A = this chain, B = another copy of it.
């Protein structure tokens, strides 16, 4: 069962937007038991859309098209598809109602251009987009499926999860697919791969592996594929494989069936009824933001002080002025006092603090850009660590967040 993706958009071709849609869609499709055959990124242009769709249909069972469905003039995908399938336009009542409701809620009048978004080719099945005004469209031709989705990630993801994958699994009788995700921290992809080489060779044939590294973490995905009747055997096979994996590299495993460290931290804190506060300098709010992006954060997270100036470190976090003068803002001592300060002020069980030089400016010979101190504190102990995270600002911030959460997790697990 092969799927090809066609991502439409000049913003992709001129390099203004990274094609993360393709990455995300591939992950979801593969997890549901389908193979991604080719990804085409093309312009918002009738001939390109027609030619590419024809090529894609030759080598795949299904084609998913994203983008080119907005109300503006440069979006011509819908017209092209309507002609491609020799159809004409009809207004879709449910889509029209959704668009009306969105405009009513926002208090804007609905224009003719907006209303046109409710028009769909007569021959398609509408995939109701509950997150926006452009409907998804499902076409069938010669035993193949062609789906058109909006390019806005928030809308596309909803339609892939809720509509496209369930329908495709049924239409193509994909069978039984089981996924198990194991999250590793503190070991690189190639080292992990070396350590588990023998284990990998001993896996049952129906289990396939994928390494999904992301900012200091490695997610290892085990995918079992078979017939619906084999489900229990496949479940047992995965359980055995995972148990073996713990024996070999259990020290690096920080979670299962979660995607981020923040999820693992939340899970542990909530179960143990503990509370957390954060003091951030170089991470600039990114730790708080990654924690609060998950629902239920208020059950354990009290707050963060983003102390971007020394004045705030002193005044709100109670860092000693002598510490700042003697050791500097980027130092073990400052990190330690920030963590203790926020833990006391916010009265929490645990605290995390970061201070460093995210760059590109501010580096010195002694403390180059990328130098970061991380402190993690509980009522019983305090742990500090110095890291050097390279010279790319966003990478430094991202790696600081991951290291801080990993260190916190180690302390919670003690």
- Partner-B contacts on A (CB < 8 A): 10-20, 22-28, 30, 35-43, 48, 51-52, 55, 59, 70-74, 105, 108, 111, 113-114, 131, 152, 154, 188-191, 193-194, 200, 209-213, 221, 278, 280, 283-289, 291-293, 295-298, 301-309, 311-312, 315-316, 345-347, 358-362, 388, 392-395, 397
Report Cα–Cα, A226/B365, bound state, in Å. 47
Report Cα–Cα, A155/B304, bound state, in Å. 31
Known: A38-B52, A191-B111. A288 touches B302 (CB 8 A): no
- Known contacts A16-B210, A295-B358, A312-B346; 12 further A-B pairs (Cβ under 8 A): A13-B37, A14-B27, A17-B23, A18-B20, A38-B43, A154-B392, A284-B292, A285-B304, A288-B288, A292-B308, A298-B309, A304-B304
What is the count of identical protomers in the complex? 2
Known: A212-B11, A284-B289, A292-B284. A392 touches B131 (CB 8 A): yes
Known: A190-B114, A361-B295. A210 touches B11 (CB 8 A): yes
**Which B residues lie within 8 Å of A52 (CB)?**
38
The chain B residue with its CB closest to the CB of A30 is B14
A284-B295 in contact (CB<8A): no
Report Cα–Cα, A287/B292, bound state, in Å. 12
**Which B residues lie within 8 Å of A191 (CB)?**
108, 111
**Which B residues lie within 8 Å of A42 (CB)?**
37-39
B39-A41 in contact (CB<8A): yes
Report Cα–Cα, A223/B38, bound state, in Å. 30
The chain B residue with its CB closest to the CB of A36 is B13
Residue of B72, B188, B312, B395 touching A211 (CB-CB under 8 A): B72
B39-A26 in contact (CB<8A): no
Complex A-B, nearest 3 residue pairs according to Cβ-Cβ distance, in ascending order: A284-B292, A285-B288, A15-B26
Residue of B11, B72, B189 touching A193 (CB-CB under 8 A): B72
**Which B residues lie within 8 Å of A307 (CB)?**
303
A73-B210 in contact (CB<8A): no
Report Cα–Cα, A138/B43, bound state, in Å. 26
Residue of B41, B200, B312 touching A38 (CB-CB under 8 A): B41
Report Cα–Cα, A289/B43, bound state, in Å. 33
